[in-house]
Amino acid sequence: MRRLPILLACIGLASCAPGEDRPFNATEEARRAADAAQQQAATPDPEQTEADTEVGTWTKGAMVAAADPRAVEAGLEMLRQGGSAIDAAIAVHAVLGLVEPQSSGIGGGAFMVYYDRAADEITVFDGREIAPASTTPDHFMKDGKPLGFLEAWQSGKAVGVPGQIALYKTSHEAAGQLDWATLFQPAIKLAEDGFEVTPRLAGLLANPRLRGAVRLDDLPASAEYFYPNGEPLPVGFIRTNPDYAATLSAIAESGPSAFYEGEIAQAIVDAVNGDANPGEMSLKDLADYSVKIRPALCGDRTDGFRICSAPPPSSGGVTQNMIMGLYDLLEPTEEAEMTEENYLKAFIDAQRLAYADRDHYVADADFVTVPATDLINPAYLRVRAEEAFAPDETTYPGDPGLALGREPVRPLWGEDATEHGPGTTHVSIVDADGNAVSMTATVEAAFGSSIMVKGFMLNNELTDFSREPTKGTKPVANAPGPKKRPRSSMSPTIVFDPAGDLFMVTGSPGGNSIVAYVSKTLVGVLEWGKSAQEAIDLPNIIARGDTVGVEIDRPGGMEAADALRELGYNVEEREGENSGLHVIIVREDGLEGGADPRREGIAKVLE
Ligand code: GLY
């Protein structure tokens, strides 16, 4: 069988020569941490006092990783002023909404996973967009048929009530250190002075395929902003956005009420309800928006590492823990089988099983019963691993109810075929006290619904619901509903080492491929011993449904595609992958960062 030297072999591991068939153990550092934690547990110190157990001083430094250097700089500036990870995240994101309007912004929503080191607590701020109260399950149906994806996607109907500003406020109240207004100053200044248009933004605006799919040219405010004189903004153009500066100034001065009530709220409602394919959003929908503070969904690995991510309606906690748990069960144990292809196969089969389950069960748990903890229960994963599909077999969901000796749950729901767009961004931050933020934010499609209001883009997140509310006679868990949040693939994730200390912050944009992208960094770092950057650089491999998408335009991608074809998988060769992974790892000697070369971001330490 062909070897996959670049994809999987021992990059950066001096102990692991090419051709050696055991490159997939945890890193030396991870092993040392696991040994130390085990030793500590085995030999309790009789002299230990309560003060000894208090959290010590953080000595590893601070870092910001995000999709644009100007946004990273805004975050570092907040940290320099004594701000927390949450202060930095808000400043970073307010800039991203300006310089990367295709990905996220204050007209969208986000999930933020926050680790408070002193309290040793992990919290999720769910700022997901909400369907207006008028939404019915057949929101995207017409004459008994679902609207076409593009028709639904590019419409006022698809706009959810934005959650981003409420998330800023709720998280800032929980752990902000700086004055609220301070957080918006870098973005306001850049919007007033003008920012330089990047190759990625200019490339998207000039891309005929994207131009054909979205409506930026057709809607006057968007057309004027992105296509002055009918031409797409070129690279290097200095684009001012006085409307965005005014919007942020109002929010800085008056708080979220400046957004959720009054002139801005009215402009949002007018734009949504006045669209050619209108929604039905009310001022009350905006005034009623509230962030949900949820416990993180965490899973413990057999090596002592703990993976925490966002719970439903995000798929992060379920899928990342399922994939890593299933990988452990599926990876080869017999020496003769320990080939690189078989380790890769374990990762692919784990993804296929997890994607099938998440597509069936994950939705807004405030509205439907989601068996989230059952799906990551080791007893269920053992049963599920036995069901690993043959490479040419159609995937189907498991039944955690049945597997755990209870009533079956699979028949409760019909099959879901929700589609996702790629307009999303990810921010990873560790602050000078060792607190961490992992936040993935989105407007759904590139440039959301294409509707620009007061200098920002409105999302089209409601197409993250299943357009068909039933399949056969069965309801779909992720069907639209009043005040319901659509399921998300966003997987903002924080990993703890066996001693319970912060180890890794990771996440990515990329539509429903997010699940695969983020798990690549987990398996890459925790199993294959990669650095943050090496894990990000691995070719993306997305195993959802009956095909395995392989990114062939990255080193190792074509070898992986060939090897997977030999194993019998239905390989779809992919180019121009859209991940935007931003990763921070806590190493013994400080923080190690990585930024996805497929986008324009950086990871930078606080000097
Ligand atoms: N709109 C992308 C997601 O939430 O998964």
The verdict on the CB of residue 428 being under 6 Å from ligand 1 is: no
The verdict on the CB of residue 490 being under 6 Å from ligand 1 is: yes
Query: What pLDDT shows up at residue 22?
Result: 27
Helices and strands, number each (H, E), in the chain? 21, 24
Determine the distance separating the centroid of ligand 1 and the alpha carbon of 421, expressed in angstroms: 7
**Euclidean distance between CA atoms 125 and 440, whole angstroms:** 11
Query: What pLDDT shows up at residue 415?
Result: 80
Residues 14-38 have pLDDT tens digits of 222 222 332 223 344 444 444 444 4
The residue length of the chain stands at: 607
Report the candidate in 128, 50, 445 with the shortest Cα–Cα distance to residue 291: 128
The verdict on the CB of residue 129 being under 6 Å from ligand 1 is: no
Tell me the percentage of the chain whose pLDDT exceeds 90: 87
Determine the distance separating the centroid of ligand 1 and the alpha carbon of 186, expressed in angstroms: 27
423 has a pLDDT exceeding 60: yes
Residues 122-170 have pLDDT tens digits of 999 999 999 999 999 999 999 999 999 889 999 999 999 999 999 999 9
DSSP 161: B
Report the candidate in 514, 507, 505 with the shortest Cα–Cα distance to residue 487: 514
Contact 327, 526 (CB under 8 A): no
Instruction: Tell me the best of 490, 491, 493, 544 to mutate to test the pocket of ligand 1, counting ligand atoms within 8 Å of each CB and taking the most.
Output: 490
The verdict on the CB of residue 104 being under 6 Å from ligand 1 is: no
431 has a pLDDT exceeding 50: yes
Report the candidate in 131, 152, 219 with the shortest Cα–Cα distance to residue 450: 219
Determine the distance separating the centroid of ligand 1 and the alpha carbon of 464, expressed in angstroms: 7
Strands 238-239 and 297-300: unpaired
Residue position matching structure tokens 């409601």: 462
What tokens does 523 get? Answer: 């398996």
What tokens does 74 get? Answer: 């805004």
Determine the distance separating the centroid of ligand 1 and the alpha carbon of 490, expressed in angstroms: 6
* Residue 120 falls in which region: left (phi positive, over 0), alpha (psi -120 to 50) or beta: left
Query: Among the options 170, 319, 418, 424, which is catalytic?
Result: 424
**Euclidean distance between CA atoms 111 and 580, whole angstroms:** 16
Backbone dihedral angles phi then psi of residue 300, each to the nearest 5 degrees:
-100, 125
**Euclidean distance between CA atoms 393 and 390, whole angstroms:** 5
Q: Is residue 424 flagged as an active site residue?
A: yes
Provide the H-helix boundaries in 164-241: 164-175, 185-193, 199-206, 208-213, 220-226
Residues 534-590 have pLDDT tens digits of 999 999 999 999 999 999 999 999 999 999 999 999 999 999 888 999 999 999 999
What tokens does 90 get? Answer: 């808000």
Residue position matching structure tokens 């000097």: 607
pLDDT classification of 55: cutoffs 50, 70, 90: confident
Backbone dihedral angles phi then psi of residue 424, each to the nearest 5 degrees:
-150, 165
Contact 590, 58 (CB under 8 A): no
Determine the distance separating the centroid of ligand 1 and the alpha carbon of 534, expressed in angstroms: 25
Alpha carbon nearest to ligand 1 atom 1, residue: 444
The verdict on the CB of residue 86 being under 6 Å from ligand 1 is: no
**Euclidean distance between CA atoms 393 and 204, whole angstroms:** 36
Residues 226-245 have pLDDT tens digits of 999 999 999 999 999 999 99
**Euclidean distance between CA atoms 422 and 65, whole angstroms:** 19
39 has a pLDDT exceeding 90: no
The verdict on the CB of residue 420 being under 6 Å from ligand 1 is: yes
**Euclidean distance between CA atoms 72 and 94, whole angstroms:** 11
Residues 513-539 have pLDDT tens digits of 999 999 999 999 999 999 999 999 999
Contact 552, 539 (CB under 8 A): yes
**Euclidean distance between CA atoms 444 and 101, whole angstroms:** 11
The verdict on the CB of residue 357 being under 6 Å from ligand 1 is: no
Report the candidate in 554, 592, 590 with the shortest Cα–Cα distance to residue 575: 554
Strands 547-551 and 571-574: parallel
**Euclidean distance between CA atoms 283 and 295, whole angstroms:** 30
132: Cα within 13 Å, side-chain hemisphere: 21
600 has a pLDDT exceeding 90: yes
pLDDT classification of 13: cutoffs 50, 70, 90: very low
Contact 478, 358 (CB under 8 A): no
Mean pLDDT of 389-399: 94
Alpha carbon nearest to ligand 1 atom 4, residue: 488
Query: What pLDDT shows up at residue 334?
Result: 93
**Euclidean distance between CA atoms 102 and 108, whole angstroms:** 11
The verdict on the CB of residue 489 being under 6 Å from ligand 1 is: yes
| Local structure of 557: helix, strand or coil | helix
Query: What pLDDT shows up at residue 234?
Result: 98
Mean pLDDT of 387-395: 92
Apex 429 CA angle, 425 and 431, nearest 5:
160
Backbone dihedral angles phi then psi of residue 439, each to the nearest 5 degrees:
-130, 125
Mean pLDDT of 208-218: 93
**Euclidean distance between CA atoms 521 and 503, whole angstroms:** 13
- pTM for the model stands at 0.93
Residue position matching structure tokens 């075929």: 417
For the CA of 461, the closest atom of ligand 1 is: 1
| Local structure of 594: helix, strand or coil | strand
Report the candidate in 111, 239, 208, 153 with the shortest Cα–Cα distance to residue 451: 153
pLDDT classification of 420: cutoffs 50, 70, 90: low
For the CA of 514, the closest atom of ligand 1 is: 5
Q: Which has the higher per-residue pLDDT, 549 or 42?
A: 549
Contact 365, 313 (CB under 8 A): yes
Q: Which residues contact 450 (CB under 8 A, 6 or more apart)?
A: 154, 214, 215, 216, 218, 219, 222, 457
Determine the distance separating the centroid of ligand 1 and the alpha carbon of 596, expressed in angstroms: 18
Residue position matching structure tokens 């619901």: 465
